[in-house]
Amino acid sequence: MQFMLLFSRQGKLRLQKWYVPLSDKERKKISRDLVQTILARKPKMCSFLEWRDLKIVYKRYASLYFCCAVEDQDNELITLEIIHRYVELLDKYFGSVCELDIIFNFEKAYFILDEFLLGGEAQETSKKNVLKAIEQADLLQEVRIFLYHQVAEPIREIDCQLDSSWSRAATK
Amino acid sequence: MALKIVKGSIDRMFDKNLQDLVRGIRNHKEDEAKYISTCIDEIKQELKQDNIAVKANAVCKLTYLQMLGYDVSWAAFNIVEVMSSSKFTYKRIGYLAASQCFHESTDVIMLTTNQIRKDLSSPNQYDTGVALTGLSCFVTPDLARDLANDIMTLMSHTKPYIRKKAVLIMYKVFLKYPESLRPAFPRLKEKLEDPDPGVQSAAVNVICELARRNPKNYLSLAPLFFKLMTSSTNNWVLIKIIKLFGALTPLEPRLGKKLIEPLTNLIHSTSAMSLLYECVNTVYIDVNTPPLPSLSLSLCLYLSLPPQLCVQKLRILIEDSDQNLKYLGLLAMSKILKTHPKSVQSHKDLILQCLDDKDESIRLRALDLLYGMVSKKNLMEIVKKLMLHVDKAEGTTYRDELLTKIIDICSQSNYQYITNFEWYISILVELTRLEGTRHGHLIASQMLDVAIRVKAIRGFAVAQMATLLDNAHLLTGNMQRMGICEVLYAAAWICGEFSEHLENPMQTLEAMLRPKVATLPGHIQAVYVQNAAKLFATVLKSQEGNTDSTAAQETSQLMIDRLPLFVQSANLEVQERASCILQLVKYIQKLQQKDVEVAEEVSALFAGELNPVAPKAQKKVPVPEGLDLDSWINEPPSESESEDEQPKAIFAKEEPKHSRPRREEVDEKELAKRREARKQEQANNPFYIKASPSSQKVYQEAPGVEHIPVVQIDLSVPLKVPGLPMSDQYVKLEEERRQKERAEKKKKEKKKRKEKRSGRGKKHDSGPESEEDITPAHQVDIVTEEMPEKSSKHKKKKQKKEKEEKEKKKKKKHHHHHHHSDGGGEEAVQNGTVEEEEPLLTSLKNKSSTYQVVVSVIFENKCDSFLKSMEFNVLDSLNSKLQRPEGSGPHDGLTVPFQLPPGVSNEARFVFTVQSIIMPQKLKGTLTFIVKDSSTHEKLDFKLHFTCTSYLITTPCYSDAFAKLLESGDLKCSSVRLEGVNMPFHHLLARICFHHHFSVVERIDSCASMYSRSIQGHHVCLLVKVTVSIDAKCDEPTLLGNVLDEIKQTFSQC
């Protein structure tokens, strides 16, 4: 896999992971192009498109688009599977994930992704193992999360105030 | 201390954390940039503090801002600081920031080497984990070099969590620092059998990715992967393994057979669609299926049933309501189309139906398919359908795509499928009515091409173009249509050049001189002006025949009235042409007023027929006598190239004889050295890809039209337009003339060569040394023009060949396992590997037909004991003899110059002299050796198989030289049909190239011509057709018969 992008229906980037070395400028250009191309596609269109010399596989979950770029010989269906697997992992970790979870805890979303994919290849195919690794690494983290929960209001409440139209991200 | 922590926490409570930042950004939607710039200022302050927690928080926020597109490269050093924190919380953030923000040009990466090394060896596995994860994103060649060893050690870490990460990241390291592949490979291979499934799958992943780029190096792992495939239940791993086999099977056809059973099992047992897709897509005829139909589909593939059945199954897929499956189905269909166009053609209806799909990507896929589906019968129908779609299509991109596809489809393979050019011209004219297309020039070039090349159509074309010119205002009326006005360029030119076909030239002339023309782009106006002059000539001619001379004078007046408009043009070209022609017409008018007949002279200005010329025509022009295109104009630049010129020396008879042998020696050594260096380099480079398949690809992808000389168009049969096109007759005549010339030239050349040969023969008598002159290369006359570069090519080829041989050996290795594994103290002997060498100078006597062949044999000790005193002996035949040291008898064995400890392999080379190469040879031989422990003499029998193929050298040949060779009539013909071969054509060709050392000369659609040369200079030419029949020609029928048998053999194994 060359890179993975998460972006919202409004075209805002929510997560980006690059597995090939590219300059910031190229990255920006690619994500801008791709976001535009994908958002322009109609909902009933298929999940694959050829873009430059890459195959793009994308899927929409609620308001979020998950988009992966793979090479020509790669399997489109397994890439869809990877996307779905990642959504499931997020869902398990956050407990019915929504876009705001990913925005406010974007570093967590990255940590989960890093435990699941490494260098663009799936490193762990067992969901249980991924979550276990994350939980244990979290245990090593310091009190900081605890502290903030006391000071700040729970994120979920704010969710509802900000945008009531958000629905649960993960399907199935 | 405690107070400090509390203070730190309190500080942080007042700082903005990530959540605050995100919330803030969301609340400042209107002035986001301003808000963020204040945030960045705050972050800069925070980064100046000593408290690492504050810094980490700042870096975390920066990572978020980086995602939003803000430049944070200025904070790179702070990121390194946070990475180096001893606390996991901060280290994690630091590495995340680094992996998101660093790339190869980030200079602080240099500073991180030691920190990363420390983290890699940390007792905490999660420290090591984050370091590995981060490294996978920002590894540079320097980091890869410095850390390769550390990561390699981690591949054997006690924790599988680390092992799997280390294995995966090794792939990135290989990419950046290929030298690390060799030392790391044994360990990587070991990991394929790691007890932890995660580690195992990581190793499979890495090897699969490596093998994808250079499958040859990984053939030896096939048995191991085979075992994995039958034992693993992890779909992710299975997909990778199947992909790997997909890359390996073209190189080793026998693998395919072996895979049938496990794959059938997989397809039957799995429920994962992606796995099924991979099974069928990769290994078999690139077919994709949904779970259910796939069962029967794959079965029919196994049984090599006709591809129609596969396509039938694909049809079900394409008819599926799931857009994704539909898309993949069409994609797979286009792959089948390349090999079995006929079977896809019957599903035209379905494909056309897909053109109506609401999904544009599906429509484009379907369009791609149409390209290969047309035939003479259905072309008009398909294009008609496409024209309907053009009318309906919304959005210019899709419509433009349709337009180019229509033209592509019609013009493919030199208009092969067009039976009626009148129809095609009208299609082109219809296309000009498209709104807002960018492809005006494409239509224009088609119009020109057809009108020029299809002479019989000119009358019709001219009439159509005249109408176009008349209605030019329709095309140019809208400025948006600037693209389409290009067709006026073609229209004006055609009307002018072929004006004799015009019904009403006067009317067209007027149309071309309308004031509105001045609004067209300059290059079009220029053509208008020039062709108005041509038309003028035609009009004059018709008018002067009449008794009334005023008409002609009026025409001249019209020109004189209108041309000044163009003389004022800002475009130089238009201006120049217009003023030139204006003066000319004024002069003509003067003559007309004196009642001089001028029409003849005016039309003489534009006399002469325009003929199509093939792109390669220049090559066919005979080289004038006395001109040697290959001689150096200046002296060759440096000494070092002298060896490249070596073969040339044969013609320089007066060269001192003593100097040659020495040079030859140097060459041998030099060659060996270079060969070694090259091997080394290739072995180190995981991505080394052999040249021949890629060159193959080039042929395949090259668009047909450019490669086909015009000569091949034979319009006489299919055209409805009456009469044989004159241009073709003309071309044919020209061709005949050239053939004659060539034949004469050939004769002369032959004579010369004979003379040379006899001259050489005389020299033989005078002294044995002159024998060195006879190297096989010189007998090839078809490539004589390329003498200067030939020798170097020749050498390269040899190296490549050697590599191929090596490969064969490797392959043989595991097959030999079976034969020899039963006896404990035995060796696997690889045979049949013949390497051709240039004749050594000293030992050879007379007979130019004696050749030396060097056989390298790899001895591998598979037993547990030490082997020594090995003797290699072969029973000589009349034709092939093992070269033994002087003084030894004809039945003595040769001592192998090494001993073999257990598990070691080594290579020895033996020289054979071969008289005739036209027959394959099988030599019986024995190897005797002593097993050290038991001190017993052991014997191992083997056979050395010298195939005829092994005497062939891949030699490039240009199509014209090839054609010359075929025409020479010296070659005997033979042909063969390959039964039951069911593989893509390019695979077939690749396989012939690979196994039989041929090179593709030219590939045209369904057939390809191939060439190879024996070490004795026999030419072997093949014409391979997609129907898997091979017509072959060679100057030695026995050799040819044997080579063909071997080819047949190769394909009967797959």
**Do A24 and B234 make contact, defined as CB atoms within 8 angstroms?**
no
- pLDDT (tens digit per residue) in B353-381: 888 887 878 888 888 888 777 888 888 88
CA distances from B819 to B409, B545, B827, B941 (A): 55, 95, 10, 12
B938 and B973 fall within a common domain: no
Query: Helix (H, G, I), strand (E, B), or coil: what is residue B34?
Result: helix
* pLDDT value of residue A170: 36
* pLDDT value of residue A68: 94
- pLDDT (tens digit per residue) in B505-544: 888 888 888 888 888 888 888 999 999 999 888 888 888 7
CA distances from B537 to A59, A77, B496, B521, B781 (A): 67, 67, 10, 25, 52
CB-based contact A65:A38 (threshold 8 Å): yes
Structure tokens at B689: 């890809």
Q: Which of B584, B605, B626 is the last residue of a domain?
A: B605
Domain count, chain B: 3
**Do B243 and A24 make contact, defined as CB atoms within 8 angstroms?**
no
Q: Which of B574, B605, B636 is the last residue of a domain?
A: B605
The enclosing domain of B1023 has a CATH number of 3.30.310.10
Is some CB atom of chain A closer than 8 A to the CB atom of B359?
A: yes
B524 and B590 fall within a common domain: yes
Is some CB atom of chain B closer than 8 A to the CB atom of A39?
A: no
The DSSP annotation for B1003-1023 comes to EETTEEEEEEEETT--EEEEE
**Do A19 and B137 make contact, defined as CB atoms within 8 angstroms?**
yes
* pLDDT value of residue B994: 80
The enclosing domain of B932 has a CATH number of 2.60.40.10
Identify the CA nearest to B82 among candidates B51, B107, B113: B51
Residue B930 and residue B870: Cα distance in Å, rounded?
Answer: 7
Identify the CA nearest to B528 among candidates B539, B541, B544, B515: B515
What is the chain A residue with the closest CA to B286? A73
What residues of B are in contact with residue A122 (Cβ under 8 Å)?
Answer: 201, 205, 236
Quote the minimal CA–CA distance from B478 to chain A in Å: 29
pLDDT at A67 over 90: yes
The DSSP annotation for A79-145 comes to HHHHHHHHHHHHHHHHTS--HHHHHHTHHHHHHHHHHHEETTEE----HHHHHHHHHHHHHHS-THH
B700 is a domain residue: no
Mutant choice from B109, B188, B274, B401 vs A, greatest count of A C-beta within 10 A: B274
* pLDDT value of residue B742: 62
CB-based contact B1002:B958 (threshold 8 Å): no
Instruction: State the burial class of residue B311 (Cβ atoms within 10 Å of its Cβ: 0-12, 13-18, 19+).
Output: buried
B134 is a domain residue: no
Residues 42-61 of A with CB under 8 A from B: 42, 44-50
**Do A46 and B326 make contact, defined as CB atoms within 8 angstroms?**
yes
Residue B262 and residue B250: Cα distance in Å, rounded?
Answer: 18
pLDDT at A106 over 80: yes
Query: Helix (H, G, I), strand (E, B), or coil: what is residue B567?
Result: helix
CA dihedral sign, ordered B985, B988, B994, B999: negative
The β-bridge partners of B871 are B895, B928
Residue B1044 and residue B1050: Cα distance in Å, rounded?
Answer: 10
Is some CB atom of chain B closer than 8 A to the CB atom of A110?
A: yes
B992 is a domain residue: yes
* pLDDT value of residue B539: 87
Structure tokens at B1043: 């080579």
- pLDDT (tens digit per residue) in A124-144: 878 888 888 888 888 877 544
CA dihedral sign, ordered B313, B318, B320, B323: positive
Q: Which of B946, B971, B1005 is the last residue of a domain?
A: B946
Mutant choice from A8, A12, A28, A114 vs B, greatest count of B C-beta within 10 A: A114
Q: Select the residue of A21, A119, A155 nearest B171 (Cβ to Cβ).
A: A119
Quote the minimal CA–CA distance from B355 to chain A in Å: 14
Quote the minimal CA–CA distance from A31 to chain B in Å: 10
What residues of B are in contact with residue A113 (Cβ under 8 Å)?
Answer: none
Mutant choice from A8, A121, A136 vs B, greatest count of B C-beta within 10 A: A121
Is some CB atom of chain A closer than 8 A to the CB atom of B335?
A: no
Q: What angle do CA A54, A57, A62 make, to 5 degrees?
A: 150
**Do A48 and B362 make contact, defined as CB atoms within 8 angstroms?**
no
CA distances from B465 to B152, B198, B429, B977 (A): 72, 70, 8, 50
**Do B67 and A13 make contact, defined as CB atoms within 8 angstroms?**
yes
Residue B505 and residue B513: Cα distance in Å, rounded?
Answer: 12
The β-bridge partners of A18 are A3
Locate tokens 């042929």: which residue? B699
Quote the minimal CA–CA distance from B149 to chain A in Å: 19
Q: Which residues neighbour B515 within 8 Å (Cβ) at sequence distance 6 or greater? A: B562, B565
Is some CB atom of chain A closer than 8 A to the CB atom of B361?
A: yes
- To which H or E segment does residue B399 belong? helix B396-415
- What is the complex's ipTM, to 2 decimals? 0.84
Query: What percentage of chain A's residues is helix, strand, coil (to nearest 5)?
Result: 50, 20, 30
What is the chain B residue with the closest CA to A154? B19
B499 and B524 fall within a common domain: yes
B959 is a domain residue: yes
Q: Which domain holds residue B886?
A: 852-946
What is the chain B residue with the closest CA to A118? B133
Q: Select the residue of B126, B281, B324 nearest A136 (Cβ to Cβ).
A: B126
B238 is a domain residue: no
Helices (H), B821-868: none
User: Could you tell me how many CB contacts below 8 A there are between chain A and chain B?
Assistant: 153
Residue A128 and residue A115: Cα distance in Å, rounded?
Answer: 11
**Do B324 and A46 make contact, defined as CB atoms within 8 angstroms?**
yes
The total of other beta-carbon atoms located within 10 Å of residue A11's CB is 13
CA–centroid distance for B837 within its chain: 30
Angle between helices B307-318 and B323-339 (to 10 degrees): 160
Residues of chain B with pLDDT under 50: 1-2, 7, 283-306, 479-480, 641-664, 686, 688-734, 755-848
Residue A43 and residue B797: Cα distance in Å, rounded?
Answer: 55
Residues 15-34 of B with CB under 8 A from A: 17-19, 22-23, 26
The β-bridge partners of B939 are B928
Q: Specify the CATH class of A3-124 in words.
A: alpha beta
**How many CA atoms are closer than 13 Å to the CA of B337, on its beta-carbon side?**
23
B750 is a domain residue: no
Query: Helix (H, G, I), strand (E, B), or coil: what is residue B907?
Result: strand
B962 and B942 fall within a common domain: no
* pLDDT value of residue B271: 61
CA distances from B765 to B306, B762, B848, B852 (A): 64, 5, 13, 22
Is some CB atom of chain B closer than 8 A to the CB atom of A72?
A: no
* pLDDT value of residue B681: 64
**Do B103 and A21 make contact, defined as CB atoms within 8 angstroms?**
yes
**Do B67 and A15 make contact, defined as CB atoms within 8 angstroms?**
yes
B165 is a domain residue: no
CA distances from B1007 to B699, B841, B856, B992, B1024 (A): 12, 43, 36, 14, 5
Mutant choice from B88, B334, B367 vs A, greatest count of A C-beta within 10 A: B88
Domain ranges within chain A, ordered by starting residue: 3-124, 126-171
| Residue B107 identity | D
Identify the CA nearest to B919 among candidates B946, B943, B881, B942: B946
Identify the CA nearest to B808 among candidates B835, B829, B833, B837: B833
B433 and B582 fall within a common domain: yes
Residue B1002 and residue B1011: Cα distance in Å, rounded?
Answer: 10
What residues of A are in contact with residue B100 (Cβ under 8 Å)?
Answer: 16, 110
What residues of A are in contact with residue B76 (Cβ under 8 Å)?
Answer: none
Is some CB atom of chain B closer than 8 A to the CB atom of A29?
A: no
Ramachandran sector of residue B635 (left: φ over 0; alpha: ψ -120 to 50; beta: rest): beta
CA distances from B1014 to B313, B968, B981, B1011, B1019 (A): 46, 18, 26, 10, 7
Quote the minimal CA–CA distance from B136 to chain A in Å: 5
Length of chain B: 1054
B469 is a domain residue: yes
Q: Select the residue of B63, B126, B361 nearest A45 (Cβ to Cβ).
A: B361
Quote the minimal CA–CA distance from B410 to chain A in Å: 25
Structure tokens at B957: 């040949």
Strands ordered across the beta sheet of A64-70: A13-18, A3-8, A64-70, A54-61, A48-51
Q: Which residues neighbour B414 within 8 Å (Cβ) at sequence distance 6 or greater? A: B704, B705, B708, B710, B712, B713
Q: Select the residue of A21, A104, A158 nearest B104 (Cβ to Cβ).
A: A21
Query: Helix (H, G, I), strand (E, B), or coil: what is residue B170?
Result: helix
Residue B1001 and residue B1007: Cα distance in Å, rounded?
Answer: 11
The DSSP annotation for B84-95 comes to T-SSHHHHHHHH
B857 and B967 fall within a common domain: no
Quote the minimal CA–CA distance from B23 to chain A in Å: 8
